[in-house]
Amino acid sequence: MPPARHSANTMSDEKRELVGVLVGADPREGRSTLDSLIRQGDDAAAEIIGAALHQSNWPVCNDLADALTRVGGATAREALVRALKARRHHVRSAAMKALARLGGAGVRAVIAALANDPSYEVRQDVAEALGLPRCQEEPDAP
Domain layout of the chain by residue ranges? 8-136
**Could you read off the pLDDT of 26-42 as tens digits, one per residue?**
999 999 999 999 999 99
Phi, psi of 138 (to 5 degrees): -90, 110
- Residue 52 is predicted with a pLDDT of 97
**Could you read off the pLDDT of 52-102 as tens digits, one per residue?**
999 999 999 999 999 999 999 999 999 999 999 999 999 999 999 999 998
Contact 21, 29 (CB under 8 A): yes
Give me the mean pLDDT over the 9-37 stretch: 91
**Could you read off the pLDDT of 109-119 as tens digits, one per residue?**
999 999 999 99
Element (H, E) at 100: helix 89-102
Write down the architecture of domain 8-136 according to CATH: Alpha Horseshoe (1.25)
b (16+ CB within 10 A) / e for 57-94:
eeebbbbbbbbbbbbeeebbbbbbbbbbebebbbbbbb
